[in-house]
Chains A and B, each alone.
Chain A
Amino acid sequence: MSTTTSLEQAHAGPAPAPVPGRRRRRTPWRGWVAAVVGAALVVAAWATVLSAEASPLPPLPEIAERAAGFAGDLLGVADPTPAYRDAGSWSRVGGLAVDTVVMSVLATGLAGLGALATVAGASRSLTVGEFGPGGPLGWAVHLLSRGLHTVTRSVPEVVWALLVVFTLQPGVLAGAVALALHEVGVLGRLGADVADSLDRGPLRALRATGAGRTALLLYGVLPQALPQLVTFLLYRWEVVLRASIVVGFITGAGLGFALRLDLAFRRWTDVALVLLTYVLLVWAVDLASSLLRRLAR
């Protein structure tokens, strides 16, 4: 009476080499249990969410009406001077787009440097594992780096932005710092996972030649891990750009700031122009990032 279920298949791993004498014991209904628990969680979540806010959902016709009205506003149906027919609006948005890209590049660069500086510390095998100094020093470095990554990663960019504007003047730099703070955690953790899953053979061979820890890092770890790290960095650039609009909303820079002002003054066609630029920018960065990733290969 045993069978596997679709959920279980979805969770099943790639074929591991069969280990003699180590047979997995499978609970046949585990997939169903997971499915039921998951469904119950979803129902509970919806119940919690729907009871949280007092405001009722407007009736369907009204939603449709509002959506149509909003779309009309964005397209400038009733607007005699829509922003997209005004050269000034285009050049303004163009300048802000440049700011936004600068913010994202700076953030990704800072995060990359931060991650590079801490990734060895966060790697288990390079601190307390096979290739690390071990001992209290190794543990201290490891836990500190890991903790730094966890803390920075757990706090969303937007919250970092709220905190950063308390200390830095609003602007592109503040936005870049907020984005970078979150991104250090993401990249650092990804990098540490890469460093821990490296092929150990070359590292052991290097150590056997008498290489010290620095040499091990430079000749063994970095050459193996760096291409993967750069690929991650380029992937994350797109994510950073996507987030830069909401961070700019708070730190008062780039397209996000324009969006905030245009929303506040109900300049709907300007809102549409900003959003259009934003989407085009994300597409362009997506393309650029995939081209650069090809270079990294």
Chain B
Amino acid sequence: MTSAVLVPVRPRPGSRSLLTALLVGAVVVSLLAVEVEGASGGGAAARELLTSLVQPDLSPGFLATVAEAAVLTVAYAVAGMSVAVVVGVPGALLVSGVLARRRTSRAVTVVATRGVLATLRAVHELVWALLLLTVLGLHPLSGVLAIGIPYGATMARVLGDRLLDVPRAPLDALTAAGASPEQLLLYGRLPLAGADLAGYLFYRLECAVRAAAVLSFIGLGGIGLRIEVALADLRFDQVGTLLLALLLLVVAVDATARAARARLVV
């Protein structure tokens, strides 16, 4: 007969429990480290913000402004992604070392590229924008490169990992048929990594749209600039409209990605 009483068991020390303890501990310590300053505007400001947000300004004149800002934001995102691809594809080939023929040259390029990419990636796109602004001025190129450089570095790492992380056996078969590293890439690694890459490209485009939306940070146009203007004017209803537009953009890219993947895969 089984008893309904639960008997305590001594937990087994393992990496999982260590991890749990570390994570919970870290969050608790950070909570204690923060002095809770309380609300500045208090609940009143929050309430005003929220009520205005759900009553967006839908006047035709403002909607036209929003549409223009949205187009510009998407344009920044797409242009930034084009730079990211130009940076990311050669970066991926270098950092994965798939084209290197000799072991020593591969090790050198892989380590060097990895360091460069890690640095480019570590800096947030808006910090890149600040730095580029100093050199290029308030030219759109500052914004495009600010998205393209860190995104390209990230793409290089992810793409490089995927090119290495493909089934070994088909590659061996191609090598046995006499394929060179370049041919192995074209006839083996790229098609084998295929689906992941497409999904990833769309996912990054979605991120790029969000990044482009805040390029106003350095004074470039787009949805972010409009949000800052509306906030400065305390026009929360317009903020609501703009956030709605951003939401629609992100959802649209996401939906396109899913539709494209569904059609292209399986």
Please give the residue numbers on chain A whose beta carbons come within 8 Å of chain B beta carbons, in ascending order: 6, 8-14, 16, 41-42, 44-46, 48-50, 52-53, 55-58, 63, 66-67, 70, 98, 101-103, 105-106, 108-110, 150-151, 153-156, 158-159, 162-163, 165-173, 176, 230, 233, 242-243, 245-246, 249, 259, 263, 275, 278-279, 282-283, 286, 292, 295-297
Cross-chain contact B198 with A10 (CB below 8 angstroms): yes
Q: Which B residues are CB-close (under 8 A) to A66?
A: 134-135
Cross-chain contact B41 with A45 (CB below 8 angstroms): no
- Docked CA distance A123–B26 (Å): 28
Cross-chain contact A279 with B122 (CB below 8 angstroms): yes
Cross-chain contact A53 with B220 (CB below 8 angstroms): yes
Q: Which B residues are CB-close (under 8 A) to A44?
A: 75, 78
Q: Which B residues are CB-close (under 8 A) to A282?
A: 122
| Chain B interface, >50% SS class | helix
| Chain A interface, >50% SS class | helix
The one of B39, B49, B250 in contact with A169, judged by C-beta atoms closer than 8 angstroms, is B39
Q: For the complex formed, measure the closest distance between the CB of B49 and the CB atoms of chain A, giving whole angstroms.
A: 6
Q: Per-residue 0/1 for B124-164: is the Cβ within 8 Å of any A Cβ (1 yes, 0 no)?
A: 10110011001111111101100000000000000000000
B46 within 8 A of A: yes
Cross-chain contact B75 with A52 (CB below 8 angstroms): yes
Cross-chain contact B136 with A45 (CB below 8 angstroms): no
Please give the residue numbers on chain B whose beta carbons come within 8 Å of chain A beta carbons, in ascending order: 15-16, 18-19, 22-23, 26-27, 29-31, 33-43, 45-46, 49, 71-72, 74-79, 81-82, 118-119, 122-124, 126-127, 130-131, 134-141, 143-144, 186, 190-191, 194-195, 197-198, 210-211, 213-214, 217, 220-221, 224, 227-228, 231, 239, 243, 246-247, 249-251, 260-261, 264-266
Q: For the complex formed, measure the closest distance between the CB of A288 and the CB atoms of chain B, giving whole angstroms.
A: 10
- Docked CA distance A67–B40 (Å): 41
Known: A9-B194, A158-B217, A279-B122. A102 touches B23 (CB 8 A): no
Q: Which A residues are CB-close (under 8 A) to B78?
A: 41-42, 44-45
Q: For the complex formed, measure the closest distance between the CB of B42 and the CB atoms of chain A, giving whole angstroms.
A: 7
Q: For the complex formed, measure the closest distance between the CB of A251 and the CB atoms of chain B, giving whole angstroms.
A: 11
Cross-chain contact A49 with B213 (CB below 8 angstroms): no
Cross-chain contact A105 with B130 (CB below 8 angstroms): no
Cross-chain contact A16 with B266 (CB below 8 angstroms): yes
Cross-chain contact B122 with A242 (CB below 8 angstroms): yes
Cross-chain contact B41 with A10 (CB below 8 angstroms): no
Q: Which B residues are CB-close (under 8 A) to A171?
A: 34-35, 37
